[in-house]
């Protein structure tokens, strides 16, 4: 599996936002040692990005206010 370039090119939203969501999903998959990663040749970022771009996994942004920063 390669990175989903077609979906990336056709994406009309905030590219920074969806890139952050994809990398966070890839991190989750790596930590969970998801079996799909092995099936796809250990391409964690590609699998995470595909799941986000295709809507298989949904995401939402969490904002921190200036006063609640740790």
Report pLDDT digits (tens) over 6-52: 777 888 888 888 888 988 988 988 888 777 777 777 788 888 888 88
| Residue 69 forms part of a structural domain | no
Whether the full predicted model's pTM is greater than 0.75, yes or no, is: no
Q: What is the domain extent for residue 30?
A: 5-58
Would residue 64 count as lying in a domain? no
E-assigned strand segments in 1-70 = none
8 A C-beta contact, residue 30 and residue 24:
no
DSSP state of 67: G
Q: Is the pLDDT of residue 64 over 70?
A: no
Domains of the chain: total: 1
Hey, what are 22's tokens? Answer: 């994809």
């Amino acid at each position: 599996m390669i990175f989903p370039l077609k979906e990336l090119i056709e994406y009309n939203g905030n590219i920074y936002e969806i890139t952050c969501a994809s990398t966070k999903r890839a991190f989750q998959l790596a930590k969970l040692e998801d079996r799909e990663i092995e099936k796809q040749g250990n391409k964690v970022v590609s699998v995470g990005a595909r799941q986000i771009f295709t809507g298989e996994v949904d995401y939402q942004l969490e904002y921190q206010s200036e006063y609640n920063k740790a």
